[in-house]
Amino acid sequence: MKGLKTCFKQKDKSIIRAVDGVDIEIAPGEVHGLVGESGCGKSVLSLSILRLISPPGFISGGEIVWEGNDLLRLDNNDMRKIRGKEIAMIFQNPQASLNPLYTVSQQMTAVIRLHRKISKKEAKEEAVRLLKMVQLPDAEKRMKSYPHELSGGMCQRVMIAMAISLQPKMIIADEPTSSLDVTIGAQILNLLIELRRQFNISILLISHDMGAVSRICSKISVMYLGRILETGNKTDIFQNPQHPYTQALLDAGKIPVHSHPAKSENNLIKGDIPGSMDIPSGCRFHTRCPSVFEKCYNMEPELKTLTANGIKVACHLYE
């Protein structure tokens, strides 16, 4: 993604900038974590990648480059060939994402046969194989189940099976464990790790859980009010976070970090995230930042490479 911007037009014709110039690069086989508080634009970003933004939302600028092609320039038919087959998505509420009127078998075979010229019987056999791969108990029996007859963890396994059914090169996982209890959530993360290992799938993991991100991601981007404030390798960000917002997220998640000159002794995030209609001028984090100074009020910092290991930070402290 290069300079990606996604906006929403309000009834009074004002514009909300939900994603405001985001740059993220994901390599083949990489698990990239996108973290930030609720309301910072993570889910809008994920829907933008697959061009699933509905009016009054619209993508107003930037590029989404997939294997050399800008997805924003493809027509609808070509884009449909990308969705599912090359880039798949796992939504954060699995029970709501499955159609309540159809069985697991009907939904999975429909997806498989949409992109593969195989018989209905072969599609059912493939669906059972995939459900076993994602460790769904009694896979043959569950094929006949409706979503309301399954637990949240079971529904998420079905969603993951559907996501990998076409052997995509990338999966976008939007808060895949947010509606699950801790134990089931850990199993889902382990499953994603195993799938990445088996198929070398790239994964964009969207989460507000720094613990989950620390387990499976190799790179991390920190998002706040539609912009990336810090991005880099997981080890560097967790051991020596640069941006005050990243430091506060780690403190709030009770994950130990090394001491840092810009980090206060108790750096929990103050206040609430501003609304998208009230984005502060200058640095958009300055209303909550413990290290704010005069320049932060008036000038928005650019995302710049800070260290030799490639960490990029948008913060006036390091200029």
| CB 152 within 8 Å of CB 180 | yes
The pLDDT assigned to 129 comes to 95
Other Cβ atoms less than 10 A from the Cβ of 31: the count is: 24
Residues 289 and 178: their CA atoms lie apart, in Å, by 27
The pLDDT assigned to 253 comes to 65
The pLDDT assigned to 255 comes to 47
Domains of the chain by residue range = 84-209, 223-318
Residues 178 and 279: their CA atoms lie apart, in Å, by 26
| CB 159 within 8 Å of CB 37 | no
Name the residue among 238, 242, 244 with its Cα closest to residue 213.
238
Residues 63 and 1: their CA atoms lie apart, in Å, by 6
Residues 304 and 229: their CA atoms lie apart, in Å, by 10
Residues of the chain with pLDDT under 50: 254-267
Name the residue among 319, 22, 36 with its Cα closest to residue 205.
36
Nearby residues of 82 by Cβ (< 8 Å), 6 or more positions away:
50, 66, 71, 74
The pLDDT assigned to 258 comes to 42
The pLDDT assigned to 209 comes to 83
The runs of H, that is alpha helices, within the chain are: 42-49, 76-82, 94-97, 104-115, 120-133, 139-142, 152-164, 182-199, 210-216, 234-239, 244-252, 294-298
241-289 pLDDT, tens digit per residue, is 999 999 998 887 644 444 444 444 444 677 788 887 889 999 999 999 9
Other Cβ atoms less than 10 A from the Cβ of 195: the count is: 18
The CATH class, in words, for 84-209 is: alpha beta
What's the CA dihedral at 36, 37, 39, 43 to 10 degrees?
Answer: 40
